[in-house]
Amino acid sequence: MKKFSDLNVKIESKNIFDVPQISIEDIINKEIEVLDFQGNITTRHGDGRYVLKILTDDHECKFFTNAEPIKKALDQVDKTDFPFQTIIVARRYGGGKKSFEFT
């Protein structure tokens, strides 16, 4: 009987980073190092999310975001400029809404 590994089946996988997940709220106003990111991720919260792999307090972890300012900024960063340091701040708007951005 053949083994699956002998069948040359190519499985497309998305890079979702094999590190612990945190909340963006855990790193607000803290300096972090952005190591990498993946765009257009679908989560239970919807489509078009980004996942960022970061280094904080000497630990690698990841978080998901749909914050447009962060997504637009990451789309403009050349892959050769990774990793980079930043601080994520929360911007509050009317009606209790908020967004996040790099500083």
Per-residue pLDDT reduced to its tens digit, 18-48: 999 999 999 999 999 999 999 999 999 999 9
Q: How far is CA 41 from the centre of its chain?
A: 9
Residue 87 lies in a domain: yes
Give 62's strand partners.
21, 53
Task: Supply the pTM of this predicted model.
Answer: 0.82
- The total of structural domains in the chain comes to 1
Residue 8 lies in a domain: no
**pLDDT above 70: residue 56:** yes
DSSP-based helix, strand, coil % in the chain, nearest 5: 20, 45, 35
Q: At 8, is the pLDDT very low, low, confident or very high (cuts 50, 70, 90)?
A: confident
C-beta atoms surrounding 7 within 10 Å: 8
Residue 70 lies in a domain: yes
pLDDT of residue 14: 60
pLDDT of residue 101: 97
**Could you tell me the residue range of the domain that residue 32 belongs to?**
16-102
The CA distance from 85 to 69, in Å, is 16
Q: At 13, is the pLDDT very low, low, confident or very high (cuts 50, 70, 90)?
A: low
pLDDT of residue 5: 81
